[in-house]
Amino acid sequence: MVKEKCPKCQTKNESGWKFCTNCAYKNESNGSLTPSSCSYNLVVMGSGGVGKSAITIQFINNQFQAKYDPTIEDRYIKVLDYKGVPCFIEVLDTAGQETFQAMRELYMKNGEGFALVFSITNQRSLSELEPIRNGILKAQNVPNIPLVLVGNKIDLENKRKVTKNEAEAVAKSWGVPLIEASAKENINIRDIFCSLIQQHWDNSGGPPIQKKKDGLCVIL
C-alpha cells in the first residue's frame, strides 16, 4: 500500500489519510493543515495476565503480543480519528500486581477514562475489578467517570468461565458498557477506546465544535 508523508512532520501515513498518526494534523482537501486540541489520558487496568498489554499494543500498533511479560508501566501515544475528529490518545498500560498499589492509586487519580479488563477464561479476574473500580470512584470523586468493562480473550470461547450474562449484570450494576474483545484477533479493540471518548462527549454535551478561522478548520 502506498504511504503518503505528512507535510508537517514527514511521518508516512496510509493512502487517503485524514489525520496524521504522529502529529494529528488534518489533511484538508485544499492542502491546509490544522492540529487537534482533543486529547485524553486513558488507563487500562485489571489483574495480571488478562491481556491489558495485548489490548494496548493491538490498539496502538495493530500487532498481537503473544508472550506474557508482566508490565510495570508503559505509556503509548496514538492519534485516533473518531467521527471525523482527530483525538490525541495517551494510553497507560498498568501493572496487575498489588506490589504497585501506590502507582495504581496515582493512575486512578490522574486518568481521564478507564478500561477495566478481565479474561473470560478467568472468573477471579472479573471479581478483582470491583476494588479497582471502587478505588477509581474514590480517587476521582466526580460523577460520570468514563469507564468500560472489557471481557478479553473471546477467541478462547471454548475455555470461557465468565458468561456474557454474568458480565452484563456487572456492567449494568456499575452503569457502564460491556465490550467483549479479542486482542489476538483484533475484535472490538478500537471500540474500547472509542467508547471512552464517546462517554467524554456525552458528559460534555457533544464532540468538539469545528469552526472556520482564516480559511482553516480548527477543533475547539
Instruction: Tell me, yes or no, whether 196 and 113 share the same domain.
Output: yes
Q: Is residue 147 part of a domain?
A: yes
Express each pLDDT in 54-86 by its tens digit. 999 999 988 887 665 655 567 888 988 898 888
The answer, yes or no, to whether residue 17 has pLDDT greater than 80, is: no
**Residue 202 in domain:** yes
Burial pattern 177-187, b for ≥16 Cβ within 10 A else e, equals bbbbbbbbebb
Question: In Å, what is the CA distance from 41 to each residue of 15, 68, 160, 172, 176?
Answer: 28, 24, 31, 25, 18
Given a contact cutoff of 8 angstroms between Cβ atoms, the answer to whether 135 and 108 are in contact is yes
Residues 149 and 99 placed together within one structural domain of the fold: yes
* Co-location of 44 and 27 in the same domain: no
Please determine, for residue 191, whether its predicted confidence score (pLDDT) is greater than 80.
Answer: yes
| 100 and 16 share one domain | no
Secondary structure letter of residue 133 according to DSSP: H
Same domain, 121 and 17: no
State the total domains in the chain.
Answer: 2
Confidence at residue 192, expressed as pLDDT on a 0 to 100 scale: 98
Q: Burial-class residue 88 by CB neighbours within 10 Å (0-12, 13-18, 19+).
A: middle
Same domain, 120 and 92: yes
Domain of 173, CATH number, reads: 3.40.50.300
- What is the DSSP pairing of strand 12-14 with strand 38-46? unpaired
In a domain, 82, yes or no: yes
Please tell me which residue, 37 or 78, carries the higher pLDDT value.
78
Please check whether residue 109 lies inside any domain of the structure.
Answer: yes
Q: What separation, in Å, do the N-terminal and C-terminal C-alpha atoms of the chain show?
A: 33
pLDDT exceeds 70 at position 171: yes
Could you report the per-residue pLDDT of 93-135, keeping only the tens digit for each? 887 655 556 677 788 888 999 999 999 999 999 999 999 999 9
In a domain, 217, yes or no: no
> Which domain does 26 fall in, by range?
1-35
Same domain, 3 and 18: yes
